[in-house]
Each structure stands twice: as structure tokens, then as C-alpha cells.
Amino acid sequence: MIISHRHQFLFFAVPKTGTHAVREALREHMGDEDLEQAGLFVKKRLPFPEFDGVPHGHLTTQMIRPVLGDDMFERYFKFAFVRNPFDRFVSFCAFMSRETGEFERTPTAFMKHVIRDVRPFQHVLFVPQHFFLVDAQGKLDIDFVARTETMQASYDAICARVGIPSRPLERVNASRHAPWWTYYDDELVALVSNLYQRDLELFGYRFEDHASRESAQDNVDPPARPA
């Protein structure tokens, strides 16, 4: 989470969406008046008692709005990155088993085990992405949804909107694995679809998106300035 008073934006860091690379780039433009909540690589905390017990930087819109107040929350440009839930779940499983090697040995079976038996809903990396970005009624509460699939173009558009120079994003803390769709069978597709149904609906993802991934162009409409 980054609160930039200098550039009047709020960056909501959804887990497993390339947030570390975006943070590193945005930090180059932060002033003394700007604030950040982070828990990995860089330990930073927002100066609000409401977040004293939060050990990570993945805060939600519902947590931030009452702290900043409706006026500031509405005026500031709010953005986040999201990721195809099927891809994100592979990354989660690879990351969580990096010490045990379970994912590397039997990836499909391990992913089914996580959904059926482990179900770690208390883990911030497992939580559906929409949870971080919607209001109490389930309505999206940010101005611009960027995508990891077009990460550089999305970041360029964000920079143009907030008035800071862009630069190439680096690859930070990425898990290593084969193309995500190669781990799926029909049963696992159904399990992940059910688990992350709202993310798929709200952000317009499908399992079949990988079919056109190689030919996709990094074209992102610039985020409009709120009236």
C-alpha cells in the first residue's frame, strides 16, 4: 500500500500481482509526506493505529477509506494490479511449497490438495483479489484496474495519469515454474473456477486466456481522470 500525497494517488498492493516491482518503481517518486505499508524486503508501516497488528502491506479499500476520509479517498487516484486467477494460483502454490518441493514433484495433485484440504483462507496470498478492491456492497472501489498480463503498458498508463516518468519494471520475487496452463486438468480448472468465481467475473478473466497470450499486444487505455 502506498499513499502519495505528493502525487495524490493510492496504490493498493494485491498479493501475487507483481506488487514488489511496482513498489520499487513508485518509491523513486515518493516524497517525505508520502506513506507506505510494506512487510517484505522493506519494512514500513502506515502511522495509523488501526493497522498496528497488520504485518504486511496488502491493505483493502475498506480499511483505508475510513482512515483517510471519504473526501481524500474520492479525490486521490486509486489503482491496483490484478492477475488471471488461474495463473495467480499456480504462483501461490509454487511460492508456498518452495521449501518442501511438493509443487515441483506433483504440481496438479498439490494444487488440488490446497483447495480441497488446506484451504488457507487466513493467508493473505490465498485471498481472492476482489476482496482488496471492493466496498461493503461488493462494488469495485478503485479508479483503474491494471493487469499483470500487460504490466509495463499498465504502469506506463498509470504514470501518465499521475504525472510521473515511467521506466521499465524489474522482475522481483517471482516464482519459477512452467507456463501456468500446463498444470491444469479439467478437474482443477473447475476447482479454481469455483474458488475464484468472483474474481473471474469482476475482472473478466477466463482459463482460455492463455490461447491468445503469445500474440497479445501491450495496449492499455489511459486511465481517465475522475470528474
Query: How far apart are alpha carbons 72 and 1 in whole angstroms?
Result: 16
Per-residue pLDDT, 218: 40
Structural domains for the chain: 2-212 (3.40.50)
Using one digit for the tens of pLDDT, what is the confidence trace for 106-135?
999 999 999 999 989 889 999 999 999 999
Beta strands in the chain (DSSP E): 2-4, 9-12, 35-36, 77-82, 144-147
Using one digit for the tens of pLDDT, what is the confidence trace for 185-224?
999 999 999 999 999 999 999 999 886 654 343 444 445 5
Using one digit for the tens of pLDDT, what is the confidence trace for 138-193?
999 999 999 999 999 999 999 999 999 999 998 765 667 899 999 999 999 999 99
Decide: 8 and 34 in contact? Cβ < 8 Å: no
Per-residue pLDDT, 143: 98
